[in-house]
Amino acid sequence: MNFIKKQEEYIKKVLLENNYDVESVGLIPSSRPDLGEYQFNGMMALAKKNKENPIASANKIADILKTNEEYESVSVAGPGFINITFQNNALLNEANRLLSNDNLVTKEPSKKIIIDYGGPNVAKILHVGHLRSANIGEALKRLARKLGHEVIGDIHLGDYGLQMGLVMLEIQTRYPNLSCFQNDFEGNEVLDLPITNDDLIDIYPIASGKSKNDQEFLEKAREITYLFQNNHKGYKALWRSIMNISLADMKEIYQKLNIEFDLWNGESDAETFIPEMLEYLRKENAIIPSEGAEVIEVKEENDKLEIPPLLIIKTNKTVSYQTTDLATLWDRAHNMNPDEVWYVADKRQELHFTQIFRAAHKTKIVKENTKLEFIGFGTMNGLDGRPFKTRDGGVMSLRNLINEVEKVTDTKIIPSIMGEERKKVSETISVGTLKFADLLSHRATDYIFDLEKFSDANGKTGPFILYSTVRMRSLLKKAEEEKIQYNFVELKDKTDKTVILQVLQLQKVLEKSLQEKSLHEITDFLYNLNNCYNNFYGMNRILTEENENLKQTWIALTKLVYEINLLILDILAIKVPTRM
Ligand code: ARG
């Protein structure tokens, strides 16, 4: 068992034996390192419950804890804080345990989780909001897996709504002679369209602009949307061909970002399930007519805000973003039987998900004990505090953003790295810079993307962590060349001990991060750990140390921190460059 958890269990046992009615004990790094390394702050409340003097109770418990051989000292401070300093040997044993096979992370009882993240829209620009969803979702998926869960990641493409009708109409206007627009079109193939992905991305805003000023254009686009949703051969073929172009582009960019989806399903895949879902909902009388449309009521008595009904069939007979999301849940519940489904999307979509979750539970499409969770994130803003824009005021594409970061990164890489390697290194560091920065704050807070700050190798940044990792790797390589054994045998002083004390928090940090569905605890921990290690590194000469015991311990310490860096960077889906 993880060392800190073991101590918590032990203290809990001592408390129970002394008639303190305690549910769980939290041992945290001391806020006063001069008094002890870890502290237990629960004694005051427990004493109060038993109507005792807290200092006296704390002293009584401290006296018992003092008999523990793993503790060097136990003391009471202030109104009843219990401070503990660990024996070096206890820490050395734990460090050795962590370093041996696969012990870094203790797994939780496994749940089956589906994560819906990424959510890019076909034929529309992939923007920084989509980076956030993909980045946060990918990291949560990997974190949950490391902690023992079975996780399925689904991209849930936006590929079914009016935007598709608009794009198709604009293409039809430009290329009316394409085979798919002819009345006798019967094909099932993917068409060879005279357009690229860049064209598609230009087409959408033009078509969307037209639809705002031209009612006829809008009506026509709606009709096309209806037709393609109802298996019109020509529009289905066109849609497939657009998907083909768009997906190729998306795959390239997600690969660059180390983001891997298990399922490439989209809103359109819900189509198969819509008829059976509608039949079920009608049978259950869950759908009601409303002003020419059909809806599901989801408001509840205690709502403070008005929660509007779910729009299932629009007046123009097309289905909505809500219908496809509900039908996707139908599919997930019936065919995958998850314990939990998580949705990583912009926090401004919260109402949509409240509606979906309520409808799914109320209609029993999803079992009562299947947990549906909305994981909302804030906006990445530019230096002016407003949503990121290009210089000419357009929406910043993800690709452009990566290019901007690469320009800055390239100036900071050492000159001896050249040619192809330089390109690769620059891309790896840039992606790391972007992703680390994006996971630095609590996911729900808006943040300002300050490129200078986020690419500073001396700050709390991706480059700082990567640099530190690369340096450890080369130190370990030298140690290996010199055939130095590594093992935790002896500690010198606070410089090396503090690093182990930091390491002890790993398990808790991972668990807390998963609980909160936010990665900021992890990026914080990684930064503190590396800071601590760098401090130790600056104070000692590892490879030339004459005391063999210390030298072995320090290589082991380097190895342990390096392994933790790799573990966490893997969770964050950040790669380490060959050099930098
Ligand atoms: N495509 C949507 C957007 O760009 C995000 C999808 C979120 N996931 C979902 N199941 N609705 O806003």
Which run of H or E residues covers position 168?
A: helix 162-174
Summarize pLDDT for 136-147 with one digit per residue, the tens.
Answer: 999 999 999 999
CA 226-228-232 angle, to 5 degrees, is 110
3-state class (DSSP) for residue 430 = helix
464 in ligand 1 pocket by Cβ < 6 Å?
no
What percent of the chain shows pLDDT beyond 90?
Answer: 91
Question: What is the whole-number distance in angstroms between the Cα of residue 355 and the centre of ligand 1?
Answer: 14
User: What is the Cα–Cα distance from 84 to 75, expressed in whole angstroms?
Assistant: 7
Question: Is residue 287 pLDDT above 90, yes or no?
Answer: yes
Q: Terminus-to-terminus CA distance in the chain, angstroms?
A: 37
pLDDT at 394: 80
Question: Is residue 101 pLDDT above 80, yes or no?
Answer: no
325 in ligand 1 pocket by Cβ < 6 Å?
yes
Task: Name which residue sits closest to atom 5 of ligand 1, judged by CA.
Answer: 119
Q: Is the dihedral of CA 435, 441, 442, 443 positive or negative?
A: negative
Q: What is the DSSP letter of 229?
A: H
Q: How confident is the model at residue 259 (pLDDT cuts 50, 70, 90)?
A: very high
Summarize pLDDT for 208-252 with one digit per residue, the tens.
Answer: 999 999 999 999 999 999 999 999 999 999 999 999 999 999 999
User: What is the Cα–Cα distance from 327 to 321, expressed in whole angstroms?
Assistant: 10
- Kindly state the average pLDDT of the residues 289-295: 95
The rounded Cα 506 to chain-centroid distance in angstroms is 17
Task: Name which residue sits closest to atom 2 of ligand 1, judged by CA.
Answer: 119
- Which atom of ligand 1 is found nearest the CA of 129? 4
Strand 81-86 relative to strand 71-77, pairing: antiparallel
Question: Is residue 532 pLDDT above 90, yes or no?
Answer: yes
pLDDT at 233: 94
Q: What is the DSSP letter of 339?
A: S
121 in ligand 1 pocket by Cβ < 6 Å?
yes
Question: Burial letters for 176-197: b for 16+ Cβ neighbours within 10 Å, e otherwise?
Answer: eebebeeeebeeeeebebebeb
Question: What is the whole-number distance in angstroms between the Cα of residue 552 and the centre of ligand 1?
Answer: 52
For 205, half-sphere exposure in the C-beta direction (CA atoms, 13 angstrom radius) is 7
Question: Is residue 389 pLDDT above 90, yes or no?
Answer: no
267 in ligand 1 pocket by Cβ < 6 Å?
no
Least confident of 228-232, 431-435, 471-475: 228-232
137 in ligand 1 pocket by Cβ < 6 Å?
no
- Kindly state the average pLDDT of the residues 491-505: 96
Q: What contacts 341, CB < 8 A, 6 or more positions away? A: 113, 114, 115, 116, 329, 332, 366, 370, 371, 372, 373
Place of tokens 């993307």: 449
- Which atom of ligand 1 is found nearest the CA of 158? 1
Summarize pLDDT for 161-209 with one digit per residue, the tens.
Answer: 999 999 999 999 999 999 999 999 988 888 999 999 999 989 999 999 9
Q: How confident is the model at residue 481 (pLDDT cuts 50, 70, 90)?
A: very high
Q: How confident is the model at residue 316 (pLDDT cuts 50, 70, 90)?
A: confident
Q: Are 319 and 351 in contact (CB under 8 A)?
A: no
Task: Calculate the average pLDDT of the chain.
Answer: 95
Question: What is the whole-number distance in angstroms between the Cα of residue 377 and the centre of ligand 1?
Answer: 12
Stated pTM of the model:
0.95
Place of tokens 């790799």: 566
119 in ligand 1 pocket by Cβ < 6 Å?
yes
Question: Is residue 102 pLDDT above 80, yes or no?
Answer: no
The rounded Cα 400 to chain-centroid distance in angstroms is 22
Task: Name which residue sits closest to atom 12 of ligand 1, judged by CA.
Answer: 119
